[in-house]
Chain A
Amino acid sequence: MIRLGVPSKGRLMEQAFDWFAERGVKLSRAGSEREYAGRVEGAENVSLVLLSAGEIPRELKAGRIHMGVTGTDLIREKLAGWRSHVEELAPMGFGHADLILAVPSCWADCDDLDDFATIARDFRAEHGFRLRIATKYHRLVRAWLSDHEVADYQLVDSQGATEGTVANLTAEAIADITSSGETLRANHLKILAEEPILRSQATLLRSIAAGDEDEVRVFATRLGL
């Protein structure tokens, strides 16, 4: 029996259900709204497991589910050496979001990462501590800044309302997922003119640890992949 993990609520769940429905597999919640069990029609040997999107990477790595739907951002942030743990079967075309670095809009002298690097250096000299970037994507942001040889900063953890940290003076910049940029503008922040740190979208993944690869392939073929 193939265990398929899908986000348990919200738009991500609905869009995932639609994606499977378009491919002839009907997923639904069993019973009440509060019950995290699922039903699968149109495919043999597949059971639906409803999980928080953030837990799907971990469950895939552990092999407790064979397949899962989650954002590329979560896979890359949460699974070190992710290619050794999961295989990307298909990008699903929804849940698009970019991980970006944003600074106060009032910084008229800050357009790109070169400006940012210099400002970070000046900031440290002036304030005696490193410029703070609020984020929950620690690994991705750190790896990206290290690739771009930006050094004079520190990350501060922010698990929510990240855009507010700058006005609250707990950070000077933020790195977060954005789709429309509206929340950023409302908080007087602007995105640096660089390629995003990551372009993320919902993706169907296969767990390497879970095995049963043949059965997974049969189901993937059934989905037209």
Chain B
Amino acid sequence: MSKREKQAIGQQILTAFRAAGAEEVAPDLLLPAETLLDLYGEDIRARAYVTQDPIRGEVMLRPDFTVPVVQMHMENGAEPARYCYLGEVFRKQDHGENQPEHPRDNEYLQAGFELFARDPDADAEVFALFHGILAPLNLQASMGDMDLLMDAVRALPLSGARRAALLHHIWRPRRFARLLARFSAPAEGRNFSESPTTWTGLRSPDEMQERIDRLQADAGEQPLSSQWVERLERLFAVQAPAPQALAQLRQLATEIPDIHEAVDRLERNLADLARRGIDTDAIHFDASHGRHTMEYYDGMTFSFAAAGRADWPPVASGGRYDALAAVLGQAKGRSIPAVGGIIRPGLVYELGGLA
């Protein structure tokens, strides 16, 4: 009967979210697949249960709450807004070549909180809320900041095309590293064979020519100096208790001035957390934390993990997703920054509950 107990823990978390001013919402279980596929790509199709509805077309069993909650807010929400929810999400557990002995649940509860606000304190508010609820479990809190990394990439002395390529692949570490290596070596000119006379497919000759022009212009680019690569590598590798990480980042900001703003913001966030009674020394800051999470986080990211359970996903995770909120708000002509996160009551239950 553990399912009922997990529900009860979820309700406990929900009560805490409501006490923090959140309004409870209940998004549908069946969601139109198109929006989710467009936002998340094929990865979500591999992980979500997709089915066909004769009238609504392709639909998905809710793989997460963020998208429907953002859509609901953009539809009719006032500002600022705090929402909370509790419900099942469904994720296929497709393994590699071997079936694990103890496969993880493919249906589990998420209790979540999403905050839509222009207030700069929003990051600290959400982190502190999760920190407080999870305090009895002694989890390891980790934090990252995608903004810091993206500002550093934007600051590289590179052509717009090269910068855009790096930014696009920031969540894909190997592709990113390969691009960076290519941009640091002398550009190789490339010969393009004549296209055969028969053109096939939707991609047009103009589109191809545009790319060829871009590649030819790129061949004239100066290689990125090793100094910049090395700075970037040092920044991406910063991993320490938050206050020490902050000091290291300050130091790095003397070499990469464009990250000053992001470092200032992190400093304010940490000070804010300390004011809320949180021991920031116990927060593990990992500059690359957000590169291993969902691609839609573009600011602060955080997770709370259970010690000694390396095979578990985080008990809680979240972050800032301004770009996703902007994309979803576009249709309604709205845009508002957003921060949120989820807790998995099932894992909290396995750790003995919150009480």
Contact = CB atoms under 8 A, between A and B. Distances in A.
Interface of A: 80-85, 104-109, 114, 117-119, 121-123, 126-127, 129-130, 139, 142-143, 145-146, 148-155, 166-167, 169, 172, 187-189
A119 B97 contact: no
Contacts of B42: 142, 145-146, 151, 153-155
Given A121-B168, A145-B42, A106 B211 contact: no
Interface string B95-118: 111111000000000000000000
Contact of B203 (A121, A130, A172): A172
Interface residues of B, number: 41
Which 10 residue pairs of A and B lie closest in terms of their CB atoms, listed nearest first? Answer: A81-B99, A84-B99, A149-B172, A149-B175, A104-B200, A188-B200, A106-B195, A108-B192, A104-B201, A83-B97
Contacts of B43: 142, 146, 151
Nearest to B37: A154
B202 A82 contact: no
10 contacts: A80-B99, A84-B98, A105-B196, A105-B198, A106-B196, A130-B38, A139-B94, A154-B41, A188-B196, A189-B200
Interface of B: 37-38, 41-43, 45-46, 94-100, 165, 168-169, 172-175, 178, 192-196, 198-203, 205, 207-208, 210-212, 215, 295
A189 B194 CA distance: 15
A150 B94 CA distance: 19
Nearest to B210: A122
A187 B199 CA distance: 11
A109 B191 CA distance: 9
A122 B196 contact: no
Given A108-B212, A109-B208, A122-B211, A117 B200 contact: no
A145 B42 CA distance: 10
Contacts of A127: 202
Of listed A85, A109, A154, residue having the most chain B CB within 10 A: A109
Contact of B41 (A83, A126, A130, A166): A130
A195 to B, nearest CB: 16
Task: With a 10 A CB-CB cut-off, give which of B42, B178, B201 has the most chain A CB atoms.
Answer: B201
